[in-house]
Amino acid sequence: MLKDITIGQYIARDSLVHSLDARIKIIITAVLIAALFMVDSFTGFGIFFLFLMVSILLSKLPVMRVIKGLKPILFLILLTLFIHVFLTGGGEVLWSWKFISIESNGVYTGFFMVTRIFLLIMFTSLLTLTTSPLKLTDGIEYILSPLKRFGVPASELSMMMTIALRFIPTLLEEADKIMKAQMARGADFESGNLIERAKSLVPLLVPLFISAFRRADELALAMESRCYRGGEGRTRLHEMKYHYTDFIALFIILCLSVLVSNF
């Protein structure tokens, strides 16, 4: 059951896109998301699609693997298309049967929205496919650090993110083990009404909570014995450095976004 969950999307490659600075890549993704919301024609989307193809080629990722990133939201895309095609009215009637009718505006808006969602998901998964979680965490810390002045503990947050990343596989495995152990004792997680299903979660949650706290306790001890003392004044082994390619990439994307969003 847990075998078909994909965790972690990063694929290591030696490519231009991979080597860009994580901070710049996060900013670029944000710019692209904003730009995609301003585009209001298929021409604009077409240009972004070409740009997406170029980025995928440059990143040397297997195209099929990138497309697989759509799987978790495939349902949402189909639902959006479905709602628009059948429920949005206006324009020419293309097909009708009894009370159902498909009208041209609905088809147009449906495909328009689906294209936008498709591009959004593709660009964001390109970010996570080409940036290792640790670099992303560091990037997020840098981006949040101006908020330190308002009391946001940016470095602690990124430390927590790193720890959480490390514990997801461990806890997944443990959840699986405890589920199987409870099932062997006759627990039933799959059937029954709502209340019964909620109740059946308790024998899964309590042992997991306890083991989670145990692990956190051991880790805190290990960190303290290595003199971890919070974010203030911590130095890093791998400093993040900007390269000129980062700024060129950012410049290209800003120009592209401003130009295309006026289409």
Partner 1 sequence: MATKKITNIAVLSAFSLVMMLTVRFPLFLPFLIYEPGDIPILIIAFLYGPLHALGATFLLSVLMAVFTGLGGPFGAFMHFLATGVFVGVAGYIYHINHTKKGAVIGLIMGSISMTAVMAGANILLNPIFYGIPREQVINMMLPGILPFNLTKAFLNSGITIFVYKRLANFLREKGLISAAESN
Q: Is 209 near partner 1 (CB under 8 A)?
A: yes
Instruction: For residue 253, give the 3-state DSSP assignment.
Output: helix
Is 128 near partner 1 (CB under 8 A)?
A: yes
Within residues 178-207, the interface with partner 1 by CB under 8 A covers 179, 189, 194, 197-198, 201-202, 204-206
Contact between 208 and partner 1 per CB under 8 A: yes
Please select the residue that binds partner 1; options are 63, 168, 181, 252, rule is CB under 8 A: 168
- Report if residue 135 touches partner 1, rule: CB under 8 A: no
Give yes or no for residue 34 binding partner 1 (CB under 8 A): no
Size of the site for partner 1 (CB under 8 A): 76
Residue choice 38, 43, 224, 242 for contact with partner 1 (CB under 8 A): 224
Quick one: which of 49, 58, 69, 177 contacts partner 1 (CB under 8 A)? 69
CA 211 to chain centroid: 28
State the nearest-atom distance from the C-beta of 50 to partner 1, in Å. Answer: 22
Instruction: Answer yes or no: are the C-beta atoms of 231 and 154 closer than 8 Å.
Output: yes
Among 25, 48, 84, 103, binds partner 1 (CB under 8 A): 84
Does the protein bind partner 1 through residue 63 (CB under 8 A)? Answer: no
- What's at 15, amino acid-wise? S
Judged by CB under 8 A, the chain residues 87 through 126 that form the site for partner 1 are: 87-88, 109, 112-113, 116-117, 120-121, 124-125
The residue (of 37 and 95) whose beta carbon lies closer to partner 1 is 37
Smaller CB distance to partner 1: residue 164 or 181? Answer: 164
User: Rule CB under 8 A: is residue 161 a binding residue for partner 1?
Assistant: yes
Task: Rule CB under 8 A: say whether 257 interacts with partner 1.
Answer: no
- Sole binder of partner 1 in the list 8, 62, 91, 192 (CB under 8 A): 8
How many whole angstroms separate alpha carbon 254 and alpha carbon 170? Answer: 41
